[in-house]
Amino acid sequence: MSDLKVSDKLMGDYAIVKISGELYPKMVSVLDAKMGEILEKTKRIILDFSHLEYICSAAVGYIVAYNNQASDAGGRVIVTEVNQKIKKILEIIGFPRMIDMTDSMDEAVDMMQNDIL
């Protein structure tokens, strides 16, 4: 099992949050605490999944909730750099209908900077 790491970088009016490792149910509280801090600073967030190896269904639910919270305050969450295994699962459960997903960080940054919906 790979340890979960969550790091963030504020980029003006939005944040890039890098989630690395494996996101099991017992680790959701780590993500939730960090996202709580970030959502106090900005409601515009890019989640970088480039080093995420596993995500549980509970974490997916939390991410949808973060997006709802951000959207209610005029912001948004964009998920990017998702590996193919996780992406396939997220597509099956309809995640892309709830949250914007991009294939590259450049595309996510462009969407965030230019408010592309």
Structure confidence by residue, pLDDT tens digits, 34-88: 999 999 999 999 999 999 999 999 999 999 999 999 999 999 999 999 999 999 9
85: domain CATH number is 3.30.750.24
How many folded domains does the chain comprise?
Answer: 1
Q: Which residues contact 82 (CB under 8 A, 6 or more apart)?
A: 49, 52, 90, 101
Task: Look at residue 98 and tell me whether its pLDDT is greater than 90.
Answer: yes
pTM over 0.85: yes
> What is the reported pLDDT for 69?
96
Residue 50: domain span: 5-113
CA dihedral of residues 3, 82, 17, 64 (deg, nearest 10): -100
Give the residue-averaged pLDDT of 9-18.
96
Residues 59/31, Cβ–Cβ less than 8 Å: yes
Q: CA-to-CA distance for 78 and 41, rounded, in angstroms? A: 16
Question: What is d(CA 38, CA 45) in angstroms, rounded to the nearest whole number?
Answer: 8
